[in-house]
Amino acid sequence: MQRIAHTDRARRELERTVRTADVLVRRLGVTRYPPELSRVVGYRPDGRAPYLVATRRGRPLADMGDRLPLEAGELWAVVDGVLTVLRHLGDLRLVHRDIRPETLWWDGATVQLADFALVLDEGEPRGAAAGADPWRSPEQAKGQGRADCRDDVYSAGAVIFHLATGEEATTAADMRDRVRWLDTTLRNLLDGVFTDEARHRVTGYALRLRRDARTGRAGAQGPGPAAPPRLAELEQQARQHFRDLRARQRAFAQRPPGPAHIPPERPPGRPARPFDRQAAVVSMVLLAACLSMLVLFVSVLN
């Protein structure tokens, strides 16, 4: 896909997309870049018509409008792909802010997220309203506070609801009522998604655990049996998730300093803190968080 910027706004969006593309490659690495995220393969930021070229897989979900609601088999395959996208964004601590049927592409096997023109790091000020109705969350519509990965959970939930029912999302309060009338599997998955504030919303990782508990195995397609995964499987998933987080943390910490991220000078006489000690502390915190989530999830299953 080639995108050409003809207006000042398009130029700013192109520049942000290029910066985000650089962040993705540095944090993920070239060999571990997931197919669920679109990748910029070339760009020219200057000249009369700046442009970029990015990968795309399949067609946007918006093209499925005449086939909605989707058949169960295809629906759950797409849902699994959307949840994988949310997990990648959560691991990277990036907030896409524009998840909708036009930016989610499907090739029959993989869901890919495209268009990173509005991306913020989690914790950055939202600054202004972003995204498009009816997919954006209430906090994105207000443009207040700080970006949260759970902003994208709301948008992804609205897309899943749309694919499953053929209807578009409305207000958060109305969506909470409409979710109650869905079938059990969808109702359980979307419970806690359509909240008025991000801090009260479930995380993308929690949605992935719900889905895995329903299927009985990670990444399965279709509603599947109701048997929950065994404790050993949950522990293995938690450990793998922790290893992925650590690998991406190391890649981020070792990134070369760019012009927009020049570290401040250290005051004279103040020794530098060794990275190994900092990494050890962060590792213990992440491990404790993963194990706490595992214990909580097992207690809910029991």
- Could you identify the residue written with the tokens 């005051």? 267
Q: What phi, psi does 194 have (nearest 5°)? A: -95, 65
Mean pLDDT, residues 102-126 taken together: 95
Residue 24 has pLDDT above 80, yes or no: yes
Taking residues 189-207, report their average pLDDT: 96
Bridge partners of residue 106, in order along the sequence: 59, 111
Given a cut of 50, whether residue 104 has pLDDT beyond it is yes
Which alpha helices (DSSP H) does 58-132 contain, by range?
Answer: 72-92
Q: How far is CA 67 from the centre of its chain?
A: 25
Which pTM value belongs to this model? 0.70
pLDDT of the residue at 269: 52
Query: Is the alpha carbon torsion for 68, 85, 4, 56 positive or negative?
Result: negative
Distance from C-alpha of 140 to C-alpha of 147, rounded to nearest angstrom: 8
Between residues 61 and 289, the one the model is more confident about: 61
Please tell me what DSSP assigns to residue 125.
B
Angle ∠(95,99,259) on CA atoms, nearest 5: 35
- Ranked by mean pLDDT, which of 123-127, 232-236, 258-262 comes out on top? 123-127
CA-nearest of 7, 23, 12 to 260 is 23
The answer for residues whose C-beta is within 8 angstroms of residue 110's C-beta and 6 or more apart is 35, 36, 57, 58, 81
